[in-house]
Amino acid sequence: MNTDARKLKPEQQELLRLKAIRLRRKGKTFREIGQLLDVQKRSPKNTPRRLTEQLEQQVMEMIHDQMPDQYKLGFALWTRRAIAQLIKLQWNIDIPVRTLGDWTRNGFLPTSSRPCITCAGV
């Protein structure tokens, strides 16, 4: 049975964190650490989507075709925060920057602030 660490007392959470850090330094994977400490993943897999697939596609096209300043955003490059502001401006939907971090890890966004060669038309 997995423990929901969010429901533990702060002292218990701190002990789990310290154990997890020690295990990670010993080379254990996050999955192994979770199994050893009997805790569940950070968030459930079937959380509701904040944007439909069609809106996600529109966002991808918008950030591929334009720069943030063309949407009157105060950014020179596309960052997670800039994209969150674009989504708020276009559809009045609040997206946490952390969610956009998930998109980055899943290939939705470039992982660095350097311009992509194929995107820059070089």
Mean pLDDT score across all residues of the chain? 80
pTM above 0.85, yes or no: no
In order along its 122 residues, the chain shows pLDDT tens digits of 677 787 889 999 899 989 989 998 999 888 888 889 888 665 555 566 788 888 988 998 998 889 999 999 999 988 889 999 999 999 999 988 888 877 766 666 554 444 444 444 43
* b/e code 11-49 from CB counts within 10 Å (16+ = b): eeeeebeeebeebeeeebeeeebbeebebeeeeeeeeee
